[in-house]
Amino acid sequence: MVQLGANRYGKAEVRVMRVSRGAGPGGGDVIRDWNVSTSLSGDLAATHLTGDNSAVLATDTQKNTVYAFAQELGPVPPEVFGMELAAHFVGTQPQITRARVSVEEFGWAPIGEPGYSFARTGELTRGCRVVHDEGAGVSVVAGLEDLTVLNTSHSEFWGFPRDKYTTLEDTDDRMLATQVSVWWRYRGTGPRGTGAPDVDWDAAFGVAREALLFAFKETHSCSLQQTLYAIGEGIIAAAPGVCEVRLALPNKHHYLVDLTPFGLPNDNEVYYPGDRPYGLIEGTVLADDAPDPGPAWA
Amino acid sequence: MVQLGANRYGKAEVRVMRVSRGAGPGGGDVIRDWNVSTSLSGDLAATHLTGDNSAVLATDTQKNTVYAFAQELGPVPPEVFGMELAAHFVGTQPQITRARVSVEEFGWAPIGEPGYSFARTGELTRGCRVVHDEGAGVSVVAGLEDLTVLNTSHSEFWGFPRDKYTTLEDTDDRMLATQVSVWWRYRGTGPRGTGAPDVDWDAAFGVAREALLFAFKETHSCSLQQTLYAIGEGIIAAAPGVCEVRLALPNKHHYLVDLTPFGLPNDNEVYYPGDRPYGLIEGTVLADDAPDPGPAWA
Amino acid sequence: MVQLGANRYGKAEVRVMRVSRGAGPGGGDVIRDWNVSTSLSGDLAATHLTGDNSAVLATDTQKNTVYAFAQELGPVPPEVFGMELAAHFVGTQPQITRARVSVEEFGWAPIGEPGYSFARTGELTRGCRVVHDEGAGVSVVAGLEDLTVLNTSHSEFWGFPRDKYTTLEDTDDRMLATQVSVWWRYRGTGPRGTGAPDVDWDAAFGVAREALLFAFKETHSCSLQQTLYAIGEGIIAAAPGVCEVRLALPNKHHYLVDLTPFGLPNDNEVYYPGDRPYGLIEGTVLADDAPDPGPAWA
Amino acid sequence: MVQLGANRYGKAEVRVMRVSRGAGPGGGDVIRDWNVSTSLSGDLAATHLTGDNSAVLATDTQKNTVYAFAQELGPVPPEVFGMELAAHFVGTQPQITRARVSVEEFGWAPIGEPGYSFARTGELTRGCRVVHDEGAGVSVVAGLEDLTVLNTSHSEFWGFPRDKYTTLEDTDDRMLATQVSVWWRYRGTGPRGTGAPDVDWDAAFGVAREALLFAFKETHSCSLQQTLYAIGEGIIAAAPGVCEVRLALPNKHHYLVDLTPFGLPNDNEVYYPGDRPYGLIEGTVLADDAPDPGPAWA
């Protein structure tokens, strides 16, 4: 005999561009360019077992709600959008006890003076994931993906164990590059209306991003793990309300090319970036007093 | 003050092609085409906090070990490869208490008579994820990704709640398409050498795949959730030793085109497949007596 | 002073799924799953120079026409669809003197007995490109992409020039793999209605595909160029009406892993497939009496 | 009987990162991050017909030469790299009569003060394509891809023909977005050493990019074709030595969401960006006295 285990469903990748005309500095337009995914869970056994959909708010309806809320809420930060939308689903659908809303935000910069014309920036994707749980309250995780950073020096790797399969040489001067995926969790979760975090989300994102870049640059790295920890520590120190940071850092290897067959020196000048395989370093840094995450990362 | 939380590291996407010449039916070559990722965890605080790498088996060494084991083990199923490799890391590195090995396997079919010539099949990617934990023992999860299936009829969707944002009409005849991601967990985990599953892995994969296709076809679907449950149930019933199935099913919407502006009928004949957004249905089906998964899905 | 040069415009990637219920063998449904792109050219200077769109059939209209023709034409081969659609644009829009219609076709196979249930095959993408030119007539190019093939032996590469940058060793036994992009041109182009090719398109596609696989397998290859030529020759010989074949063959290198540091042999057993860089071999094979292509490849 | 037609071969996607330490402003490092593809043609019939490789400079050798030239040339603009490398192949391989070198350049910006630390910019990819032909001389095409720009207003589309398949309404206020692919050709081609263009390549790239952004912003657009022409005209006017511009502009449609079912207004505020299909506008703008391109675009 079998039974239904954990489950959830929703609409993924609802693209929405919200233009607020003249609302920006200098009277320029403000645009919020999002990719929104919703996911609901609760008592959904009936649809799985018998196809009875009386508890299944259609994913098409979820999509419509994204658009409607984009209109009604105006150019809010994605975290606010996520909190409002998640609260709506849990608050209006009796059978839904948890809603997760993820938002990817794509950046745009004005072309010239602020106005109606924009070019997409592409150095990173901002994101947030809001979980509204009937019991555990609201949690907010924010972060970024796809930010690629590189140090041409100030990176070493040596002193690792050598077994029969080890051929890598120690090095005290290597290139270090990674494509950062980092997500940080805010304190202050709790039932909506009483404990929702009071954060300037756009500012906090900027602070965390700067802390990340600073830590990457300033850490003399003996391992990518050391850099990871320094980034986590830096974000917690700099961004008010952040209690936990999770990072996934691919080690984007840059291999020194052997030019000796051609009679040429290569004093750390010519590298070839490899695609695969790559090291992958994953880790968490927590404030000592970080509260339990509950379903924040679910 | 901050502290280090959960962490792991390894080499991702080690591509390896293992040719076993003349070892196949009719004297043809056997090829195993894999993408292997390893991930180790244990007492790794030192490298994070001080850059002391004395406990960090280099990811380059992990890559080398993948190649060496591919040679030594021969054309084994990916699950066997994963179990041997994971056991090696935990067994030889004192500070490593858990190893995870993931293998993607790409399919190839002989061109004509079996021999030296192959064409890649592309209808799915097979995979497995082995976790060897010093305490919890060995667990094996297998599965597949990217199998796209479609029913042109025998699918309905109606009876869902209607709120102020609902515009979707009930339908008793829609196209149903999904790109299956499914993973199943085997029973029999335990310390290696005493409790490792005794399974014909290649055969079990085939059985699970057939059960999936059969359940997709034979389920008259009132929701993709219902289809999901039927697939999970079907795999557990058919594949010996499977105790849990996890599925992620994007609803690849096919929208009926409105041809009335052109004076044309469209009796469920012309659809446009949408890219985004898509429904995403995720769920688990368990045998009633499924043992605790431990770190199997970590 | 500047002037307008060559230009064209259209709608790209119109996805359309055409279901013909019960029209297949055994009463099963027939599906045609296409990605259609249209491109029109002619006297379009006004819209470029002044924004006068009186000659610009909207790309939205082109999209609508794709859907309408899918309905009206039924489950025809993509080449027929392309010819009809291209003729329509040139025949009804006075300012349009040339239309190009490209169709990608994705394959589906019945699950079990023919009926309503299908699984997507993924080993290749079929395609065609039809050009209807008011002056030059109709030309049809068909082909396929993404078919990956591999010979584990019967491939050599030696005797190439050695300059100061050459380090590659001669080999008389290497693995040869490529992801085939091949397009073939049919004879018989001419004004529509008098000279359109009379071909069984689905059958011709199958013949060409088989000829390609056979030539790849049977050619003892001293270079990928030699294999390319053999494939082109094979398709022209086998597929009635084909006068020209164009191929682009990436050399998907499989490098033998050096296992000597680990005390292991590697008698052509363990390879790592590289992603980048890759050799890229491009070439054309023509029947001696191939007519001028005109705009067939534009 | 068949014959060999046009053909070429080379190494594609050779990734190379060239670090010039301390060579930048403020003593920071200079990095050039490239993806180089080479392609050679000439008398290559033998390898196609008989597998005789005596005229085939191995693609592995071409790759090595990329690395060696990166070392020897230092941090030159990609156009200079391309000219030197292409000249080398034609000048040293008697059977090779034409070489094409394509370079993609990925951008990096210093993190903080110039030094050893960089973050990848991602708003566009710079590129160039150099063709060195024994007869026709050297030609240089430069350009960029993947720059996405958007005007929230100042775009109209009306006055297009209406046939039986037309449903699109006229609009005098739409969003206009495109992902620019633009390539411009420099004058001054000719035999190397006498006629190679004398251009400050990095500066010219910047000028062309600015002209493109300015033209996109300042053109009140009645069609994407009109914008295309304005961009081409702007680049030719601004960038010294440019005689021809080729553009491919996908119309990245942003559709206004119909919020009336929810009782909400939508005064050009909430859009959904579509993925497919998209309009695709391709065109060329030429200086009146542009010389014949020869093989520049081959």
Average pLDDT over residues D227-249: 97
Percent of chain A with pLDDT strictly greater than 90 = 96
CA distance C146 to chain A (A): 20
Structure-token pair, residue D239: 């960038």
Query: For position D189, what pLDDT does the model report?
Result: 62
The tens digit of pLDDT for each residue in B62-119 reads 999 999 999 999 999 999 999 999 999 999 999 999 999 999 999 999 999 999 999 9
Does D56 contact C223 at a Cβ distance shorter than 8 Å? yes
CA–CA dist A257, D204 (Å, integer) = 31
Surface-to-core class of residue D3, CB atoms within 10 Å of its CB (0-12 exposed, 13-18 middle, 19+ buried): middle
**Phi, psi dihedral angles at C88 (to 5 degrees):** -60, -45
The whole-chain average pLDDT of chain D stands at 96
Measured CA distances, C51 to B249, C54, C57, C61 (Å): 46, 9, 13, 18
Place of tokens 């359309």: C16
Which of D111, D257, D273 is facing A217, going by the closest CB pair?
D111
Which of A50, A60, A223 is facing B47, going by the closest CB pair?
A223
- Number of neighbours of residue A237 by Cβ within 10 angstroms: 12
The residues near A193 (Cβ < 8 Å, ≥ 6 apart) are: none
> Is residue A194's pLDDT more than 50?
no
Confidence of residue A4 (pLDDT cuts 50, 70, 90): very high
Confidence of residue A261 (pLDDT cuts 50, 70, 90): very high
CA distance A146 to chain C (A): 20
> Is residue D190's pLDDT more than 60?
no
> Is residue A37's pLDDT more than 80?
yes
Catalytic residue among B48, B50, B59, B88: B59
Distance in Å from the first CA to the final CA of chain C: 27
Tell me if residue C49 falls in helix, strand or coil: helix
Does D116 contact A153 at a Cβ distance shorter than 8 Å? yes
Per the DSSP assignment, residues forming a β-bridge with C150 are B118, C177
Query: For position C197, what pLDDT does the model report?
Result: 67
Does B146 contact C217 at a Cβ distance shorter than 8 Å? no
The residues near C116 (Cβ < 8 Å, ≥ 6 apart) are: B151, B152, B153, B154, C28, C29
CA distance B217 to chain C (A): 6
Does C112 contact B217 at a Cβ distance shorter than 8 Å? yes
The fold of the D7-133 domain, in CATH, is Urate Oxidase (3.10.270)
Which residue did the predictor score with more confidence, B124 or D298? Answer: B124
Query: For position B193, what pLDDT does the model report?
Result: 45
Confidence of residue A198 (pLDDT cuts 50, 70, 90): confident
Per the DSSP assignment, residues forming a β-bridge with A33 are A17, A106
Catalytic residue among B63, B132, B252, B253: B253
Does A52 contact B222 at a Cβ distance shorter than 8 Å? yes
> Is residue A216's pLDDT more than 60?
yes
Average pLDDT over residues A127-131: 97
Structure-token pair, residue B193: 């050498």
The number of angstroms, rounded, from the C-alpha of C136 to the middle of its chain's C-alpha atoms is 22
Alpha helix segments (H runs only) across chain C = 45-50, 59-73, 78-92, 201-218, 224-238
CA distance A157 to chain D (A): 17
Helices (H) and strands (E) in chain D, counts: 5, 13
Measured CA distances, B158 to B155, B165, B222, C117, C243 (Å): 10, 16, 7, 21, 54
CATH of D135-298, one of 3.40.710.10, 3.20.20.150, 3.40.50.300, 3.10.270.10: 3.10.270.10
Catalytic residues of C: 11, 59, 253
The whole-chain average pLDDT of chain A stands at 96
Percent of chain D with pLDDT strictly greater than 90 = 96
- Residues in chain D with CB shorter than 8 Å from the CB of A276 are none
> Is residue D193's pLDDT more than 70?
no
- Residue to test with chain A: of B223, B243, B255, most A Cβ within 10 A: B223
Q: Is D59 a catalytic residue?
A: yes
CA–CA dist D55, C159 (Å, integer) = 9
How many beta-carbon pairs under 8 angstroms link B with D? Answer: 11
Domain C1-133 in this protein, CATH class: alpha beta
Does A51 contact B221 at a Cβ distance shorter than 8 Å? yes
Does D147 contact A254 at a Cβ distance shorter than 8 Å? no
Task: Tell me if the domain spanning A7-134 has CATH number 3.40.190.290.
Answer: no
At the fourth CATH level, the homologous superfamily of domain C136-298 is Urate Oxidase; (3.10.270.10)
Query: For position D197, what pLDDT does the model report?
Result: 67
Chain D residue with the nearest C-alpha to that of B264:
D165
Give ∠ CA C159-C162-C168 in degrees, rounded to 5.
80
Place of tokens 């285990």: A5
Per the DSSP assignment, residues forming a β-bridge with A243 are none
What is the 3 state secondary structure string of chain A? CEEEEEEEEEEECEEEEEEECCCCHHHCCEEEEEEEEEEEEECCHHHHHHCCCCCCCCHHHHHHHHHHHHHHHCCCCHHHHHHHHHHHHHHHCCCEEEEEEEEEEECEEECCCCCCEEEECCCCEEEEEEEEECCCEEEEEEEEEEEEEEECCCECECCCCCCCCCCCCCECCCCEEEEEEEEEEECCCECCCCCCCCCCHHHHHHHHHHHHHHHHHHCCECCHHHHHHHHHHHHHHHCCCEEEEEEEEEECCEEECCCHHHCCCCCCCEEEECCCCEEEEEEEEEECCCCCCCCCCC
Q: Are C174 and C166 in contact (CB under 8 A)?
A: no
Structure-token pair, residue C250: 């990436």
Place of tokens 């004949």: B269
Q: Which amino acid is at D146?
A: D
The pTM of the full predicted model, rounded to 2 decimals, is 0.97
Confidence of residue D198 (pLDDT cuts 50, 70, 90): confident
Place of tokens 């589309």: D157
Task: Tell me if the domain spanning A138-298 has CATH number 3.10.270.10.
Answer: yes
Q: Where in chain D is the domain with CATH 3.10.270.10?
A: 7-133, 135-298
Question: How many CA atoms lie less than 13 Å away from A9 in the CB half-sphere?
Answer: 29
CA distance D234 to chain A (A): 16
Using 70 as the pLDDT threshold, list the residues of chain C that sit under it. 189-197
**Phi, psi dihedral angles at D71 (to 5 degrees):** -70, -50
Closest CA to B139 of B128, B150, B148: B128
> Is residue D195's pLDDT more than 60?
no
Confidence of residue A188 (pLDDT cuts 50, 70, 90): confident
Q: Where in chain B is the domain with CATH 3.10.270.10?
A: 7-133, 136-298
The tens digit of pLDDT for each residue in D249-286 reads 999 999 999 999 999 999 999 999 999 999 999 999 99
Tell me if residue B21 falls in helix, strand or coil: coil
Using 50 as the pLDDT threshold, list the residues of chain B that sit under it. 192-195
| H or E element at residue B226 | helix B224-238
Structure-token pair, residue C273: 């497939």
Q: Where in chain C is the domain with CATH 3.10.270.10?
A: 1-133, 136-298
Place of tokens 């942003």: D254
Catalytic residues of A: 11, 59, 253
Surface-to-core class of residue B263, CB atoms within 10 Å of its CB (0-12 exposed, 13-18 middle, 19+ buried): exposed
